Amino acid sequence: MKYLIAYYSKTGNNWFLAEQLAHDVSADVVEIVPRVKSFFLLLLTSLLKVSFGIKKIDKNLDDYDGVILCGPIWMGQLIAPLRDFIRKFRANIKTLYFVTCCASGDAERDGKFGYVNVFKKVEQLAGSSFKEAQAFSVSLLIPEGQQAEAEQMMQLKLTEETFTGKIAEYYTQFVQNIS
């Protein structure tokens, strides 16, 4: 399959994930650029489910068998740039996978700020093109037996050095599923 990876990243974690995926599944990559750059406005528009839209991308989605949408989850919400991408290109997406590097771990997956509700929203917006969603929690970067405060969680970064252990196992399984 020929994949396009479309990503939005504020901290760099979802950029890292997108680049890894592009390398491992031989995909093209495009950044989703919102029309506004302010974190506060992006968060507000995500919570209110409105937006200012995204800038034009330089890829024709009709040329791809599948799209891997990659981006963060903020406060348990599908963020505006990702939502806008799905809405804008839904008719052109043959198969959609959604991946996120987020702070929610498996224990919080069904909670108010978890990722399960976001996955359901992606599936609802994408319709029949939706195939699978996968969360890669930065909490998996914390050594077993240790805990991190919210502030520390936000500082965790995916890098070549930290992309090991459980998070790498989940990632490898996801790549095998889509290959």
92 in helix, strand or coil?
Answer: helix
Q: Are 46 and 74 in contact (CB under 8 A)?
A: yes
Can you read off the two tokens belonging to residue 86? 């799905």
pLDDT at position 36 is: 87
| Mean pLDDT confidence for 90-109 | 89
At position 114, the amino acid (one-letter code) is G
Where does the pLDDT of residue 12 fall: very low under 50, low under 70, confident under 90, or very high at 90 and above? Answer: very high
Q: Which of residues 88 and 106 earns the better pLDDT score?
A: 88
pTM (predicted TM-score) = 0.90
Question: Residue 57 half-sphere exposure, CB side, CA atoms within 13 Å?
Answer: 24
Question: Residue 70 half-sphere exposure, CB side, CA atoms within 13 Å?
Answer: 30
The answer to whether residue 113 scores a pLDDT higher than 90 is no
pLDDT at position 111 is: 81
Q: Which tens digit of pLDDT belongs to each residue from 149-174?
A: 666 666 788 999 999 989 999 999 99
Q: Which tens digit of pLDDT belongs to each residue from 22-72?
A: 999 999 999 999 998 888 888 878 878 888 899 999 999 999 999 999 999
